[in-house]
A and B are shown apart, each in its own frame.
Chain A
Amino acid sequence: MLRFIIRRLALSIITLFLLVIIVFLLTSVFPNDPARQLLGPFQSQEAVDQLAEELGLNDPKTEQLGRLVKGVATGDFGESYSRPGERVMDLILPALGNSAKLVVLGLLITLPLSILSGVLAAYRKDSLFDRSVVTLGLATSAIPDFVSGILLQYVIGVRLGWLPATSNAPRGTGFIGSLEFIILPALAIVLVYFGYIARVTRAGAVQAFESDYVRTAFMKGMPLRRVINRHVLRNSLQPTVAVIGTQIGFLFGGLIALELVFNYPGLGSMIINAAQDQDLPLLQGGVIIVAVLYMIATLLADLLISWMNPRARSVTAS
């Protein structure tokens, strides 16, 4: 197990390094001139050149890359261009916190609901309940997150007025109080992911219910609930865990439209703004943070899976 973790970590570090290079290449081929963008059209060319020099934009590419790598290693991506005087990290952290709040709330509702439905659908395969879960799940996950977001916003937030229609909590709202503001976007996440995760879980659970070892458990006289907890979940949740692991990155960095709809300052909208403003350090920092989150999530998922599946463990170890 330890060897597996070490190898997996080493692999992650190599991936991270490659990723930094890719992010650097992508951001450094921007067509426009960040210094001109910052100063606006009316400043003199000298001032622009001088700023470019100060920002290190004229340094050799390798030197710029070196700075970025160092930044990643120390967690310091320098100063923001668009909001001079503010450290990039200080801008990222609150956005990250906001995203985390939304994602965690969304998953806290989605996971139990979809896993339970998936397992029960598998247990009662081909029943009305099973068909409803599958069809409903397909229907809701076919709707983009921001569309269901807008619908929720309009119906629950505006027409019924049960919950705040935007998610920007007023200053000074406590943690608990602020949760009320993000229930609607969290529900949009639930709508997108419920069907997906329920279906993946169902597929695994169908297999488990048909397996000989579950038969053995029933034949021991084990009650259904214990059979599910002990024998079905452990083997059928492996694909579910893998799916969740790969979706975390998207949830943190990809909910751009949803965040815009609810005017919620998460990581996704921060990154898109940084790109529009040609705020290179903020953009690089944001993208790399999302990538690191993605890597951590898949790493954790892999570890969890190998803990769930001793056979895979012994294969990768040997």
Chain B
Amino acid sequence: MSAPASLTDRITSGAMAPALEVVDLHMSYIVRGVPREVLRGVNFHIQPGEAYGLVGESGCGKSTTAYAALRYLPGNGRITQGEIRSGGRDITSMSSKELQAFRSSQASMVYQDPVAAMNPSLKIGRQVEESFKLIGQSASDAKASAYAALEQVRIADPTSVLDRYPHQLSGGMLQRVVIAMALASKPELLVLDEPTTGLDATVEAEVLDLIRALRSETGAAVLLIAHNLGVIRTMCDRVGVMYAGKVIEEGPAQEVFDSPEHPYTVGLLNAIPRAGLRKTDRALYSIPGELPSIGTDLPTCVYIDRCALADEKCKSTPPPATSVGEGHQTFCHHVDRVGELRDAEVGAFSNVSSDDNVLQLTGVAKTFRQAGQDIPALVSVDLGIAEGETLGLVGESGSGKSTMAKTMLGVHSYDPGGDIVLDGVSVPAAATNRTPANSAAMQMVFQNPDSALNRVWTVRRILERSIIKLTGASKDDARARAEDIASAMRLSPRHLDMRPRQLSGGLKQRVAIARAFAGDPKLVVCDEPTSALDVSVQSAILNLLANIQNDQRTSYLFITHDIGVVRYLADRIAVMYLGRIMELGPTDAMFQGVNHPYTEALLSAVPSVDGETRERIPLDGEIPSPKNPPSGCVFHTRCHRFVEGLCDTKEPELREIAPGHMIKCHLDVADLGVVPVQVQRKGSTFGEADGAELQSSDSFDDTVVEGEQVDPEDTVND
């Protein structure tokens, strides 16, 4: 999103000093007495009012740069070379008084984890007022300002929020409060370090909308760090791609994402499932190897170890900045050959799902009891999963996804009256009553692999134990099979004798997957298996899962927050809300057909890396508590298509609107919307996937897109 016109004019006329200017910044962390270089000459600048994004793998130095911009260094951090300037002033040489004044009145920061960023034992009011007192306001003025600040960040009831403690507010709400504090000083520079990571996609979209709106109100320059490239694309004017402590490509966000000119950027973008890519289109690209650790000696090109184009020249000479467009530069010797990487041929996966259901849930419900009160967390779910099928499961946090997974696995036993049939045979509700064969047939992979792996055992022992436990194999058979499985999971033999803590996150997740496959499972429940991983690692894991499925016809229940991932991998998608399945259908139909209003809102919240813009349908408020669900259709309190007298009185049935596509909604198909998509730019040359995207967008003619846009009147519903 671009800055207000007046600011843009000033930027182009070059009348003002940059809001942030980082020149050849070198930084080290001292680890066990040895300085290890983490930033190796970072260069970039942000003009007043401009939004600049920094992207790159975990550990490449994004946060280090962001904190250095406000000169907040950890005890062992040292700036060894370079300059940081803001508004023409050198930050590195400020006295502590000057630095305090700079932070309280010119630059502010918003952090990744809003819950931790607030003092747990002080009321919100005190903490917000503090920010105003620091710029010299009296106690009573600060109070009034705090109220106004919360209003500015669209908090509906400032008085009550000011009077609460942080633990009494949701993460999204707290992030608004943190933003309000950051804006207290009307900063010229706002640094945001992954401000929406860890928030639900719908909450993320709200926070991003807010930041966007505030930016055009205040004209602050923004440095935004996010690992979600879609977020960067929709928020930033320019973007810098960082690798091993260096910005290796920089340019206008659209241009960098649509035609990347550095091998690393290409790898990163090819690794994400984007532009409606499906597993049947092509496998995901994954960058081999790992980010070099800090302090590694990298005298020429920092990306040399992982680059497919690297040759002698790359080893001997540091790559110069090469201009590849207006304001777009890349640090690579082989700009002319980057195209080869972009169009690299990779195989695709085939759809192996059959018509026979491996698992059938009929009327499965789960009611928890807490303090004498019934909490229906799962309400009468009917669902079949076919052999070799991937069923995606999406919904906000608290919608009941994990409860459903755990109920399937018998961690929670379902309420009497339901039935779970595995391969034609009913299985007992509780895991403790299930046979070893039952447990072997249904396995789970968690978001955090550590929870499934015994940390003191070697990988070999972990796998052997699972094999023996799940299949009753002999010790020798287990040994041989562990090696087979490990190699099927692309773990090298040396990994077998390592312990989990010696492995990276991606490798640990491979081990966890290998463990789940120890007993030839029919169904594997994957609960956000890649959400803690970098995109390049995620792509390898997703490829692995798709590969195993192709070979073994295993079925997956794949729980995720990431719409791009579920669209890539799933054959069918189920959408959950308050323990109910609101929509269920083939993936293509979900993205091209008519949707349940809830799905519509979820999909509209996804920031796209391809520059699609959608009219966002806001989901007001938070998901209601399952303790007292709303009457009638449980979604009616937040629905933009709510019909009074119908939706609030009667709960709709799950009905079929097209073959295999069901929604739980009273409205006629004609009254429901398809995902309103407008493709901003056509004719981009990047990747095969764009072809698919063009097709789907072509299928809406302009009038349909217009007609399906949500009328603002419609969104007012409660």
Please list the residues of chain A having a beta carbon within 8 angstroms of any beta carbon in chain B: 125-126, 211-213, 215-223, 230-231, 234-235, 308-311, 314
Q: Return the CB mask of B163-197 against A: 1 if under 8 Å, else 0.
A: 00101100000000010010011000000000000
Contact A219 B120 (CB under 8 A): no
Chain B residues near A231 (CB-CB < 8 A): 119, 122
Q: A125-B75, A219-B70 are in contact. Are A213 and B109 (CB under 8 A)?
A: no
Contact A215 B72 (CB under 8 A): yes
Q: Does B695 interact with chain A (Cβ within 8 Å)?
A: no
Contact B111 A212 (CB under 8 A): yes
Chain A residues near B407 (CB-CB < 8 A): none
A306 to B70, CA, bound (A): 35
Q: Which of B134-172 contact A (CB under 8 A)?
A: 134, 165, 167-168
Binding stretch for chain A, among B98-106, B266-274, B447-455, B566-574: B98-106
Q: Does B113 interact with chain A (Cβ within 8 Å)?
A: yes
Chain B residues near A218 (CB-CB < 8 A): 72, 103
Q: A125-B75, A212-B111 are in contact. Are A220 and B120 (CB under 8 A)?
A: no
A309 to B102, CA, bound (A): 32
Chain B residues near A217 (CB-CB < 8 A): 119, 130
Contact B118 A216 (CB under 8 A): yes
Contact B120 A216 (CB under 8 A): no
Contact B121 A310 (CB under 8 A): yes
The closest CB in chain B to the CB of A213 belongs to B119
Contact A221 B113 (CB under 8 A): no
Min Cβ gap A58→B in Å is 54
Q: A125-B75, A216-B178, A310-B165 are in contact. Are A221 and B101 (CB under 8 A)?
A: yes
Most buried by B among A220, A222, A223: A220
The closest CB in chain B to the CB of A216 belongs to B117
The closest CB in chain B to the CB of A218 belongs to B72
Q: Can you name 28 A-B pairs with beta carbons within 8 Å?
A: A211-B116, A212-B113, A212-B117, A215-B72, A216-B111, A216-B119, A216-B181, A217-B119, A217-B130, A219-B72, A219-B108, A220-B103, A220-B131, A221-B100, A221-B102, A221-B104, A222-B104, A222-B134, A230-B122, A230-B130, A231-B119, A234-B119, A234-B122, A235-B119, A235-B120, A309-B120, A310-B121, A311-B121
Identify B109's interface contact among A219, A223, A310, A311, CB under 8 A: A219
Min Cβ gap B119→A in Å is 4
Contact B119 A310 (CB under 8 A): no
Contact B103 A221 (CB under 8 A): yes
Min Cβ gap A227→B in Å is 10
The closest CB in chain A to the CB of B135 belongs to A221
Min Cβ gap B162→A in Å is 14
Min Cβ gap B129→A in Å is 11
Please list the residues of chain B having a beta carbon within 8 angstroms of any beta carbon in chain A: 70, 72, 75, 99-105, 108-109, 111, 113, 116-122, 130-131, 134, 165, 167-168, 178, 181, 184-185
Min Cβ gap B100→A in Å is 4
The closest CB in chain B to the CB of A124 belongs to B75
The closest CB in chain B to the CB of A234 belongs to B121
Q: A219-B108, A309-B121 are in contact. Are A213 and B101 (CB under 8 A)?
A: no
Min Cβ gap B446→A in Å is 25
Chain A residues near B119 (CB-CB < 8 A): 213, 216-217, 230-231, 234-235
A221 to B131, CA, bound (A): 8
Most buried by B among A126, A212, A213, A221: A221
Chain B residues near A212 (CB-CB < 8 A): 111, 113, 116-117
Contact A311 B134 (CB under 8 A): no
Min Cβ gap A235→B in Å is 6
A222 to B130, CA, bound (A): 9
A260 to B181, CA, bound (A): 59
Q: A219-B103, A221-B100, A311-B121 are in contact. List 14 more A-B contacts (CB 8 A).
A: A126-B75, A216-B119, A216-B181, A218-B103, A219-B70, A220-B103, A221-B105, A222-B130, A230-B119, A231-B119, A234-B122, A309-B120, A310-B120, A311-B167
Chain B residues near A215 (CB-CB < 8 A): 72, 111, 117
Contact B121 A235 (CB under 8 A): yes
Contact B130 A220 (CB under 8 A): yes
A171 to B184, CA, bound (A): 64
A308 to B111, CA, bound (A): 25
A211 to B119, CA, bound (A): 9
Contact B117 A222 (CB under 8 A): no
Min Cβ gap B371→A in Å is 9
The closest CB in chain A to the CB of B74 belongs to A210
Identify B165's interface contact among A216, A219, A223, A311, CB under 8 A: A311
A235 to B167, CA, bound (A): 15
Min Cβ gap B353→A in Å is 45
Most buried by B among A125, A216, A311: A216
The closest CB in chain B to the CB of A224 belongs to B96
A151 to B116, CA, bound (A): 48
Contact A223 B116 (CB under 8 A): no
CB-CB nearest 4 A-B residue pairs: A221-B104, A221-B103, A212-B116, A213-B119
A219 to B120, CA, bound (A): 17
Chain B residues near A126 (CB-CB < 8 A): 75
Min Cβ gap A308→B in Å is 6
Q: A234-B121, A234-B122 are in contact. Are A213 and B116 (CB under 8 A)?
A: yes
Chain B residues near A125 (CB-CB < 8 A): 75
Min Cβ gap B97→A in Å is 8
Chain B residues near A314 (CB-CB < 8 A): 165, 167-168
The closest CB in chain A to the CB of B113 belongs to A212
Identify A213's interface contact among B104, B118, B167, B184, CB under 8 A: B118
The closest CB in chain B to the CB of A127 belongs to B75
Chain A residues near B70 (CB-CB < 8 A): 219
Chain A residues near B120 (CB-CB < 8 A): 213, 235, 309-311
The closest CB in chain A to the CB of B115 belongs to A212
Chain A residues near B178 (CB-CB < 8 A): 216
Min Cβ gap A313→B in Å is 9
Min Cβ gap B347→A in Å is 44
The closest CB in chain A to the CB of B168 belongs to A314
Min Cβ gap B109→A in Å is 5
Min Cβ gap B24→A in Å is 25
Min Cβ gap A122→B in Å is 11
Chain B residues near A310 (CB-CB < 8 A): 120-121, 165, 167
Chain A residues near B102 (CB-CB < 8 A): 221
A311 to B164, CA, bound (A): 11
The closest CB in chain B to the CB of A307 belongs to B121
The closest CB in chain A to the CB of B108 belongs to A219
A311 to B120, CA, bound (A): 7
Min Cβ gap B388→A in Å is 45
Min Cβ gap B573→A in Å is 36
Min Cβ gap B633→A in Å is 31
A283 to B72, CA, bound (A): 60
A314 to B119, CA, bound (A): 16
Contact A222 B109 (CB under 8 A): no
The closest CB in chain A to the CB of B75 belongs to A125
Min Cβ gap A301→B in Å is 16
A230 to B134, CA, bound (A): 13
Min Cβ gap B412→A in Å is 23
Contact B121 A308 (CB under 8 A): yes
Contact B100 A222 (CB under 8 A): yes
Min Cβ gap B68→A in Å is 13
A184 to B105, CA, bound (A): 52
Min Cβ gap A4→B in Å is 15
Chain B residues near A311 (CB-CB < 8 A): 120-121, 165, 167
A230 to B121, CA, bound (A): 10
A311 to B169, CA, bound (A): 12
Min Cβ gap A43→B in Å is 65
